[in-house]
């Protein structure tokens, strides 16, 4: 197949392909590509040293920094998608659910709309674990309040897990929810009299935030992580063991 055809299958127009080849960004095997018309096997093509994503779905995790919006675009602020390199931006990845601008930690981004939908749908009850730092001393009574379901002005939250990690003038706890309404964790802590100081998401279902990722960094999910997410949302079509 022609090299520009292979690049177009990965989302690049013919003129973009020519410009990338001219700048030496495209290799075929170990050698720099010579022309847009050269004959290639798509699996041998590399752009900036990486193989191209053709039609397969892409699954990433990002360690979202504070100040970044969980959206594909925003008029004035950086978004989780704008932090990705161009080759991922053109794959039209979308974030799975939202974190508030000041909340940090695990965000999944994928082209797989069906999986994304199920991970945020209350029906599949995907667990999300957060590390919360709040004002005041958390007690066993607060753990019970979360387990019973905190009453908010417009709804009662589903029972949630709370594990207190430190309790003093400020406290730290891991909380686990199976729903994700607007500002939910902040509202639940405010409702039990412990306003949040900071919030970080650590886990979605079986996928934990990779601690080696600096704020703003991302990596592809492993095959095991993708399979785990697909199993928990009844989308796994491989061999059942
Ligand atoms: N709960 C919140 O209050 N904010 C988030 O971003 C996520 C959960």
103 C-beta closer than 6 A to ligand 1: yes
Q: Per-residue pLDDT for 47 more than 50?
A: yes
Per-residue pLDDT averaged across 178-206, rounded? 97
Structure-block tokens of residue 151: 């009453």
Return the ligand 1 atom nearest residue 103 CA: 6
Average pLDDT of the segment spanning 5-13: 82
Residue nearest to atom 8 of ligand 1 (CA): 185
pLDDT at 55 (0 to 100): 61
Mean pLDDT of the chain: 93
- For residue 187, which atom of ligand 1 is closest to its CA? 3
Give yes or no for residue 186 CB within 6 A of ligand 1.
yes
- Candidate from 97, 99, 108, 120 with most ligand 1 atoms within 8 A of CB, to mutate: 99
Query: How many CA atoms, within 13 angstroms, populate the side-chain half-sphere of residue 235?
Result: 15
Residue of 127, 180, 203 to mutate, ligand 1, most atoms within 8 A of C-beta: 180
What does the pLDDT look like over 111-144, one tens digit per residue?
999 999 999 998 888 999 999 999 999 999 999 9
Complete domains list, the chain, with CATH: 3-51 (3.10.290.10), 59-122+218-239 (3.30.70.580), 128-204 (3.30.70.1560)
Q: Give residue 89's pLDDT.
A: 87
Whether pLDDT at 238 is above 70? no
Above pLDDT 90, what percent of the chain?
A: 80
**CB–CB of 70/204 below 8 Å?**
no
Q: Tell which one of 184, 198, 201 to mutate to probe ligand 1, the residue whose CB is within 8 A of the most ligand atoms.
A: 184
**Region of poorest pLDDT, from 53-57, 111-115, 173-177, 191-195:** 53-57
Closest C-alpha residue for ligand 1 atom 7:
99
Mean of the pLDDT values across residues 36-47? 92
Q: How many CA atoms lie within 13 A of 199 on its CB side?
A: 23
Q: How far is the centre of ligand 1, averaged over its atoms, from the C-alpha of 100 (Å)? A: 6
Q: Which of ligand 1's atoms lies nearest the C-alpha of 183?
A: 3
Query: Does position 53 have pLDDT exceeding 80, yes or no?
Result: no
């Amino acid at each position: 197949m022609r090299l520009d055809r292979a690049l177009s299958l990965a989302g690049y127009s013919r003129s973009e392909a020519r410009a990338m080849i001219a700048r030496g960004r495209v290799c075929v095997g170990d050698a720099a590509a010579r022309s847009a018309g050269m004959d290639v096997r798509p699996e041998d093509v590399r752009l900036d040293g990486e193989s191209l994503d053709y039609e397969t779905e892409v699954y990433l995790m990002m360690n979202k920094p504070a100040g970044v919006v969980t959206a594909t675009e925003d008029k004035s602020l950086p978004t989780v998608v704008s932090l990705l390199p161009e080759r991922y931006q053109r794959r039209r990845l979308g974030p799975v659910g939202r974190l508030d601008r000041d909340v940090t930690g695990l965000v999944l981004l994928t082209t797989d709309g069906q999986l994304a939908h199920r991970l945020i749908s209350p029906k599949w009850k995907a667990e999300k674990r957060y590390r919360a730092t709040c004002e005041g001393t958390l007690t066993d009574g607060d753990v019970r309040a979360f387990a019973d379901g905190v009453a908010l002005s417009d709804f009662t939250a589903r029972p949630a897990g709370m594990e207190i990690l430190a309790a003093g003038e400020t406290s730290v706890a891991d909380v686990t929810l199976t729903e994700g309404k607007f500002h939910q964790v902040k509202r639940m802590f405010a409702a039990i009299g412990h306003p949040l100081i900071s919030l970080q998401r650590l886990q979605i279902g079986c996928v934990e935030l990779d601690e080696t990722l600096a704020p703003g960094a991302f990596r592809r999910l492993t095959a095991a992580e993708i399979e785990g997410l697909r199993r928990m949302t009844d989308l796994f079509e491989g061999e059942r063991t």
